[in-house]
Amino acid sequence: MQHSVWLSTECPNYPSINFETYRGVFNWTITYRADSDSLGGWGSLYETYQRLKDEGVDPMKDYTEGKKKLAVWFISKCNTQANRIAYATELVKHMHVDVYGGCGKNDVCAKWKIKCMPKVIRQYKFYLAFENMKCKEYITEKFWRNALENDVVPVVLGANRSDYERLAPPHSFIHVDDFTSPKELANYLKMLDQDKDKYNAYFKWKTTPPKNMPLDEGSTFNGYDEDNMASKEKVDTSFSAVASKVQGTQAKWYHGMMSREDAEVKLKQAGVGSFLIRQSQRPGKGFILSAKVPPKAKAQNVFKKWHVCFHGTDSTAVDSILGCGDLLMPGDYAVGGRKLSEKEGHFTDERKPEGFDTKQIFLSPSIKYSGCDVYAKPKTFATSAGKVYDARVAFQVCVRPESYKIGPETIGATRKNIKIDPHVDNDKIECFTKERGSTILYGLLVNMEETNT
């Protein structure tokens, strides 16, 4: 009997594929995901420590020697779904980063000249291992080869921190999610640059391998173990079993009626940004979004010290925002590759007050303002009983004090003598910020109004 294998090195939504058309086609999967039938990752703990065993490790080595420069980044794909360009743009305002490749000012190594890159990277203390997608367990050569093999500390953006903690050497990386903003990350890197002991601590993993290190030799994309595949006693060849691995982060998020306690248990072991939507057990409370927020939420006591605002959005954007785990600005790329545009009816580059920057995250202390049609475009639908509703959605957000500015409404209500919210002045109803990491999503609100149409 002939068997078919799904082999992929990329995230499931790159390129965009309709997996439904492949129902029943594939028997096995070979991807970077740990739940593949056969592993095909870009790197692994086993391979990393095997390499060190072959090369030998000097426990007294000073990893600052010969590194006269701070940070470097090789990047070829300029428009990606992880918003790494936007994050890096903010980061370089606070520290120096040399950017090479197709998206950089200089190309010290011609494309695919892999042998050239090590001699460049080894001059630096930090490498920006920013992935082009944010997917579960998606950790590529940017981390394993460009950073670890060249003895520089990787600064990572992409998969959740919990994935790196599970798959990468202990204390070998710096994750952007540990910082409230690119500025805070830059300050930390500059501190490490001046502290030899703290910098060298990021290389102690070389002499202290994990006790329960997985034995996964042969797991890179050089091929797959046919004998191992053929020896499986029982293979689920249904599309649902294979596609659940292929589709990665596209898991079912609706869990029906569930208590708050059960939701907390469900999310306890999940990565930051993981979420579920459940039906409340309390009458009249409807549906509730439960999400795992970053460690900074607890560390900085955000639910008591940060301010509460709302962010209205199109219902079609909810999946992208939840997939990204953060709010995006016009010009950013959402999950799925869609570039965000300025809101119709809102100030745009062509129609705005002098000096007003439209490329920001917009919030409001007023749910009425965030829920207006400009921000929360209504979605009309009919029930089986024939009733027609307009549904609007908005996120409830914690925003860090002093990270945002307050201004007047920008949808033209004042010109029409319309008072938007009786509790908030029109000239103090809109908040805006360019500071990434200054917001934390913690609620999804849905308003449904029956229409007469």
Higher pLDDT among residues 67 and 347, named by residue: 67
Q: What is the pLDDT of residue 342?
A: 59
CATH assignment at residue 354: 3.90.228
How large is the average pLDDT for residues 107-114?
Answer: 64
Rounded to an integer, what distance in angstroms lies between the CA atom of residue 434 and that of residue 445?
Answer: 24
| pTM for the structure as a whole | 0.53
Q: What is the pLDDT of residue 286?
A: 60
Rounded to an integer, what distance in angstroms lies between the CA atom of residue 370 and that of residue 376?
Answer: 7
Regarding whether 197 and 49 lie in a shared domain, the answer is: yes
Rounded to an integer, what distance in angstroms lies between the CA atom of residue 125 and that of residue 73?
Answer: 11
Catalytic residue positions, numbered: 10
Positions of E strands within 160-305: 174-175, 254-257, 275-279, 287-291
Higher pLDDT among residues 375 and 343, named by residue: 375
With respect to residue 263, please indicate whether it lies within any of the assigned structural domains: no
Using DSSP bridges, classify how beta strands 361-363 and 430-433 pair: parallel, antiparallel or unpaired.
antiparallel
Structure tokens belonging to residue 17: 């594929």
How large is the average pLDDT for residues 36-65?
Answer: 86
With respect to residue 23, please indicate whether it lies within any of the assigned structural domains: yes
Regarding whether 26 and 79 lie in a shared domain, the answer is: no
Q: For residue 363, list its beta bridge partners.
A: 431
With respect to residue 267, please indicate whether it lies within any of the assigned structural domains: no
Regarding whether 317 and 183 lie in a shared domain, the answer is: no
* pLDDT band (50, 70, 90) for residue 122: very high
Regarding whether 301 and 444 lie in a shared domain, the answer is: yes
The 10s digit of each residue's pLDDT in 226-271 is 333 333 333 333 333 444 444 443 335 667 677 878 888 888 777 7
The 10s digit of each residue's pLDDT in 281-320 is 665 556 677 777 777 677 778 888 899 999 998 887 787 7
Least confidently predicted of 53-62, 173-182, 278-287:
278-287
Q: What is the pLDDT of residue 128?
A: 97
The total of other beta-carbon atoms located within 10 Å of residue 180's CB is: 20
> Across the chain, what does the average pLDDT equal?
78
The 10s digit of each residue's pLDDT in 187-233 is 999 999 999 999 999 999 999 887 766 555 434 433 333 333 333 33
Regarding whether 443 and 374 lie in a shared domain, the answer is: yes
What SS3 class is residue 372? coil
Number of structural domains the chain divides into: 3
Q: Out of 94-98, 106-110, 410-414, give the one with best mean pLDDT.
A: 94-98
Structure tokens belonging to residue 191: 């501190």
Rounded to an integer, what distance in angstroms lies between the CA atom of residue 128 and that of residue 418?
Answer: 48
Helices of type H across 102-181: 117-121, 141-144, 161-167
Regarding whether 21 and 81 lie in a shared domain, the answer is: no
Per-residue pLDDT at 16 exceeds 70: no
The 10s digit of each residue's pLDDT in 387-438 is 788 888 898 899 999 999 999 988 888 889 999 999 999 999 999 998 877 8
Q: What is the pLDDT of residue 116?
A: 84
* pLDDT band (50, 70, 90) for residue 71: very high
Q: What is the pLDDT of residue 217?
A: 44
Regarding whether 311 and 236 lie in a shared domain, the answer is: no
With respect to residue 273, please indicate whether it lies within any of the assigned structural domains: no
With respect to residue 251, please indicate whether it lies within any of the assigned structural domains: no
Per-residue pLDDT at 328 exceeds 50: yes
Which structural domain range is residue 380 located in? 293-450
Last residue of a domain, one of 207, 236, 270: 207
Single-letter code of the amino acid located at 195: D
CATH assignment at residue 90: 3.40.50.11660
With respect to residue 288, please indicate whether it lies within any of the assigned structural domains: no
Regarding whether 167 and 52 lie in a shared domain, the answer is: yes
Regarding whether 391 and 350 lie in a shared domain, the answer is: yes
Regarding whether 425 and 307 lie in a shared domain, the answer is: yes
Distances (CA, A) of 301 to 177, 185, 399: 16, 19, 12
* pLDDT band (50, 70, 90) for residue 348: low
Per-residue pLDDT at 148 exceeds 80: yes
Q: What is the pLDDT of residue 266?
A: 82
Structure tokens belonging to residue 415: 């010109």
Regarding whether 50 and 36 lie in a shared domain, the answer is: no
With respect to residue 214, please indicate whether it lies within any of the assigned structural domains: no
For 380, how many CA atoms within 13 A lie in the half-sphere containing its CB? Answer: 7
Regarding whether 52 and 34 lie in a shared domain, the answer is: no
Per-residue pLDDT at 131 exceeds 50: yes
With respect to residue 257, please indicate whether it lies within any of the assigned structural domains: no
How large is the average pLDDT for residues 33-48?
Answer: 80
For 435, how many CA atoms within 13 A lie in the half-sphere containing its CB? Answer: 21
Least confidently predicted of 158-162, 324-328, 437-441:
324-328
Single-letter code of the amino acid located at 316: T
DSSP state of 271: P
